[in-house]
A and B are shown apart, each in its own frame.
Chain A
Amino acid sequence: MRLLTHNMLASNVRGATTGYPLTLEATNWCTKEVELNSDFIRGLLPKIDWRALVAATRAIGLPELLPEEQPPEEEIFAEGAADVEGSAIRRIHHALLEVHVQEGSLVCPDTSRCFPINKGIPNMMLHEDEV
């Protein structure tokens, strides 16, 4: 499960008010290289909840990867930034698409219901009595 997915998910268990953001607990994660596409990131970024993304990077133990506040667009998409090691766009790309949680869980902030992540697949299915 990439952190992009974490950013999109919520718990819809009965009794949850917003069920969001889910607390990420990662027992096993890895990185997988994904080709950087600036236009794709540009389209994606406005839909990303920056706080939740930062929280997720901290939860897996990468506190330095992203700053507390989202850098301005001019900086992220500055000419040539994609080719500069450590640039904002590279870090964002890495955080969203290259970090892959293999084993762990997503915990509902309202009900503490735990959704397991197993073999990289979050299991968001509810039990009969949670619907």
Chain B
Amino acid sequence: MWYLCVFYHRLLDYRRPEVESLAELFAGPGARESVEWRMPENHHVDSPFHLVRLPGDERLAAQVANRSLLVKGVYELWGYGTTYEELEKSVREYPDERKLPFLVPESSFKIVIDSFGKVISSQEQNEIIQSLTYIPFKGRVNLKKPDHRFFVMETDDYGSNNGLPPVVKRSIFFGREVGAADRHLLPTYQLKSRKYIGPTAMDAEMAFLMANQGLASPGKLVYDPFVGTGSILVAAAHFGAMTMGADIDIRVVRDGRGPNCNVWSNFEQYKLPEPLCLLRADNNLPPWRPGLKEMFDAIICDPPYGVRAGGRKSGGRKLIKGVKGPYTVPDEKRDNHIPSTAPYSLAECVHDLLHLAARMVVMGGRLVFFYPVLRGEDGTANPQFPEHPCFKLITSSEQILSFRYSRVLLTMVKVAPYTEEIEKLAAERHREFRENHQKWMEEGNLHSAVFEPAQDGKPDRDSKPKYRGKYV
């Protein structure tokens, strides 16, 4: 069935992928492909108003909307017009058998007047409600907990304020609400009130979006190889998944800021089941036993890119100095030795991540991760995304961070099994990266270019182009 899907006006590129992923989660494998989209007449794709066709019945639409973060509401659309006269005509034409069951005397209801890009005074709102007499509401009004919520939503010319291409004509929608995002999650999980956070902790909203892209749900196992303070796993655990994480930094993953302020305590704080496993390991040399594969339903992570939080890998001084022959840590130092690490190039980090996922994710499982992208002079990005024979890229969602760079959330599905041949190729590549460490650090240096702090130390916000679509 077709619904009106109204989004929050934020993270524009993340909105449709979230709905598609949740359709897949609740309606089963392949459901994603049966989701269809249209735009209402005269609306730009960045408009909050979309029309979506979802598989299954209304319960599915409700599940999708209720679990989402970016869906302000999914509605059964009863009417549409560019004037209130047109709206009335359209609602009157909508079949009675679809309308009457929701208007019966035993039910309670509420009418909400909403607008985008304009303000409607409470007097005007009352007038609009009064004008709806052509709809035979028989139920009781209940403002707190109505059985049915009806929405009148109006928009015109919303482009002027926020840099969007303007809508040519006013549009008015009348719909019955089927489901809506629970944004109360966000104040509960906001980083501000989380016990243990670090400089690269993922903000709660994005972490939930990532968990949705990874289809986190009860009975599934989610792994984050760059777990840090655990913010991504917290979101996955909130949706009922079991979690595991690793990090190269022992202070972050083991010690935190004390016995009651560490990765474990972040789960305790929200009464979530703690991770099944946290370990200190280098994703460049993952410690998984021979033969182990297809352990995880999803790998969801924010890999270490950049200068401030750049990746490190084992092999330290030996690699940095380019020592070819034997290199030893003196015996007397061995026990309390803190291994030195070498910088981890973007290319190698991404290669390792894709290889790990090819081996450790189940068929049909997902790999969800951020990838940095340099933006061109004209403000557009035409990135080449990483590829792997085991994975199919299904969505890429850009978030513009400054004039110069963006981060893109990539969602991939494992479509082909891990084979010996793939394993051999990866081992060769691994050797090649080690032997030519210096060269890769110079060539694979997109991340330094991208994440270098701006010259004057301030992010270059002023140079944002006028079109703000993907900034919000």
Q: A interface vs B, CB < 8 Å? A: 1-2, 4-5, 7-12, 18-21, 32, 34-35, 37, 39-40, 43-44, 47, 49, 97, 118-129, 131
- B298 → chain A, closest Cβ, in Å? 13
- A95 → chain B, closest Cβ, in Å? 13
B:229-269 near A, CB below 8 Å: 242, 244, 248, 250, 253-255, 264
Q: B interface vs A, CB < 8 Å? A: 218-219, 221, 242, 244, 248, 250, 253-255, 264, 273-274, 276-282, 285-290, 292, 294-295, 314-318, 326-329, 334, 337, 339-340
Tell me if B273 and A127 are in contact (CB < 8 A): no
Tell me if A9 and B287 are in contact (CB < 8 A): yes
Distance, CA A34 to CA B327, complexed state (A): 45
Identity of the chain B residue whose Cβ is nearest the Cβ of A46 in the assembled complex: B294
Residues of B within 8 A of A2 (CB): 276-277
Tell me if B318 and A131 are in contact (CB < 8 A): yes
Given A37-B219, A39-B219, CB of A129 within 8 Å of CB of B327:
yes
Q: Which of A1, A9, A34, A126 touches B288 (beta carbons < 8 Å)?
A: A9
Distance, CA A32 to CA B339, complexed state (A): 32
Given A4-B276, A10-B290, A40-B242, CB of A125 within 8 Å of CB of B248:
yes
Interface of B: prevailing SS: loop
Distance, CA A98 to CA B167, complexed state (A): 58
Q: 11 additional contacts, CB 8 Å, given A4-B276, A121-B279?
A: A1-B279, A20-B289, A47-B295, A119-B255, A121-B253, A124-B281, A125-B281, A126-B339, A128-B329, A128-B339, A131-B285
Distance, CA A128 to CA B314, complexed state (A): 6
- B265 → chain A, closest Cβ, in Å? 12
Residues of A within 8 A of B244 (CB): 5
Distance, CA A40 to CA B240, complexed state (A): 12
Tell me if B337 and A127 are in contact (CB < 8 A): yes
Residues of B within 8 A of A49 (CB): 289
Tell me if A128 and B289 are in contact (CB < 8 A): no
Residues of B within 8 A of A19 (CB): 289-290
Tell me if B288 and A10 are in contact (CB < 8 A): yes
Residues of B within 8 A of A21 (CB): 289
12 pairs, A vs B, C-beta closer than 8 Å = A4-B276, A5-B276, A7-B289, A8-B289, A20-B290, A21-B289, A34-B273, A121-B278, A123-B254, A126-B314, A126-B339, A131-B314
Tell me if A118 and B254 are in contact (CB < 8 A): yes
Given A47-B294, A127-B334, CB of A12 within 8 Å of CB of B285:
yes
